[in-house]
Each structure stands twice: as C-alpha cells, then as structure tokens.
Amino acid sequence: AVATYKPEMFKDIFGPTTNTISTSVSAPKRFGSSLKKMNIPKKKKIVEDSQGPVNIMDDINKTINKQEEASYECPFCFEELVPPYPEELRKAIEETKKKQSMLEETQRKNYETKVIKEKAEGKVYIEPFMLDKESLSEHDRKIVCHMHKMELELKPLARERGYPEHIDFDSLKSRIEGFKSDLLDIIHGQVESDYFLEEKRKIKQLGANKARDTAELINYFQHTLPGYYGMKGMEIIMKIVGDLFLEKELDKSKCHPLRPFEYIQRVLVPECGIRLIEKDMKVDKKKAKKIMEESIEFGKKYSL
C-alpha cells in the first residue's frame, strides 16, 4: 500500500498551516519633521583657464608647425634637417632652395599654359597640378646630402677622434714628394714594407689567380684605403705615385709577384697613408698605422 500524508501531520515540525496568503504590503513609514532637509550644492560652472589644455595644444601645434616650416628635407636621402645649420650647410641649402624655387615656378607656368590650351580645345577633365620634387639634377641633390653628412656627422666624429676636419687634397702632391726618398727605399728593397711582405705571403698561399679573384680584390680594397683620406685620397695618391714611379722606377722585377699598378695600390698607397697621418697627428709610424686602420670606415664615409 502507498503511504499517504496529510498537511496536518507536519504541523508539529513547521508550525500551524494556513490556506490564505497575505498579499498586503505595509505602508512605508513616514519620517518625522525632525529629519533635516539635505542641501545639495548647485553644480558650479567650470570656467577654463586661459592656459587650459586647449590653449596648450594650440601652442604645441604652433611650435611643431614652426619647426616643420624651418626644417629642410634632403632632396637626395630625404632626411629631415633641423636648424641651426653649420655655415657651409646653410649656404648649400639656400642655393638648392633657389634652384628648387626656379624649377617649381617653371613647372607652374608650363601647367598654366597646358590648362589654357586644353580649355581652348574643349577638354572637360584637366589633370590637377602635381609638383615634381625630383626635378633637381642628381648632382644638385647630392650636394646637400654630401654636405649635411659632412657637417653634421663626419666633422663632429673627426673632432671626437682627433682627425683633421678638413683635408687639403691639393697639397698631397707636394707632401708626397717630400717623402719620395722613403718610397724609393721601399721600391728598391732597402726598406721592407709590411704590406709587400703580406702580398707575397698571400700569393704564395693562394696562388696568383686566386689572389686576384673578385672576393680577394674587395678585401684588398678594404684594407689598403689610406685611413681617413678615404677613396678620394686613394685615387689622388695613386695618380701622384704613378706619375712619380710607374715609368721610371717600377718594373716587373721590383714589383714581382705583383703587377706595377697592384704594387702602387696595395703597397705604396698605404705606405703614403701612414706617412701622411704621421705628420697630421704628430705620432710615430706605428701609431700612424694603427690610426689609419681604425679610420678606414670613417674614410669610406668621408668619400661619399
């Protein structure tokens, strides 16, 4: 049999039961007059100070605009150049700006002529004016680029390391002629050159053909630059030394296993570099050689 349960059976546990559910809601209690009225202050109108955020941003924007107007973009490498400029760079920029202005004016006049012609022909669509910023010749664009690298990068670096800030390439001929006897002693074998000994060692180790392949030639070029005199200095020194010795003193027997022009480039050019730096920096040959090797990277940039 299924057990049945009646509600009254649980009255001892849950208390008396009722069949009615009260739905009345008690009225909220009213607070007496003893409660003070809350005084909420009125919202004050905020008055922005004359030096508030908006005005500060205006000042910043004006400053940025002034800087943008004053700065100059290199027409070759597009680096932004910010004044003040060294005098030589300032002159180069001003000269380039004049050329740019003249070219722009010419472009605008040509465009106006084109528009008049096309309107007369009844054309509906006319192409808008587009300024050709690269109308300057490559030579003119490179002038400013070379100048700002020289004035803003290389000269400060030269001052930091004690290198000459200016090299008088025109004086190299007379300076090299001043130690011509040193070079003759090397050519005639009376004084050993570390550079010639190294070339002999390489050719013996690699063989003549291997020593002249492209990779080795690049390596020679990297290590025989006359330091901070750079590529330009190397070319001038080769020309001077060639004129002095190529036809009169240098023959195959003295240059072997190098060819005469190889001997000039790989032996006499660095020997000249050491002696030039020795005089520039007022140091001995050992120190001059070290400076030359350390300043090769500077010399590459100097020749840009």
The predicted pLDDT at position 33 comes to 46
Picking from 176, 175, 150, the residue whose alpha carbon sits closest to that of residue 165 is 150
Contact 237, 251 (CB under 8 A): no
**Three-state secondary structure call for residue 72:** strand
Does the pLDDT of residue 88 top 70, yes or no?
yes
Does the pLDDT of residue 5 top 60, yes or no?
no
Contact 85, 77 (CB under 8 A): no
Does the pLDDT of residue 25 top 70, yes or no?
no
Please report, for the chain, the start and end positions of each structural domain, with discontinuous segments joined by +: 80-161, 171-303
Q: Which of 10-14, 157-161, 217-221, 233-237 has the lowest mean pLDDT?
A: 10-14
**Three-state secondary structure call for residue 81:** strand
Alpha carbon distance 182, 271 (integer Å): 9
Does the pLDDT of residue 160 top 80, yes or no?
yes
Query: pLDDT confidence of 20, banded at 50, 70, 90?
Result: very low
Mind listing the pLDDT tens digit for each residue in 28-41?
555 444 444 555 55
Alpha carbon distance 296, 73 (integer Å): 29
Higher confidence at residue 5 or residue 303? 303
Span 228-249, average pLDDT = 93
The predicted pLDDT at position 32 comes to 46
Q: What percentage of the chain has pLDDT greater than the value 70? A: 76
Global pTM reads: 0.61
To which residue do tokens 């730096």 refer? 277
**Three-state secondary structure call for residue 73:** strand
Span 135-146, average pLDDT = 88
Alpha carbon distance 275, 60 (integer Å): 55
CB within 8 Å of 19: residues ≥ 6 apart: none
Alpha carbon distance 116, 203 (integer Å): 72
Both tokens of 63, joined, read 């400053």
Which CA distances in Å does 136 have to 14, 163, 199?
103, 34, 46
| DSSP run (H or E) holding 281 | helix 269-281
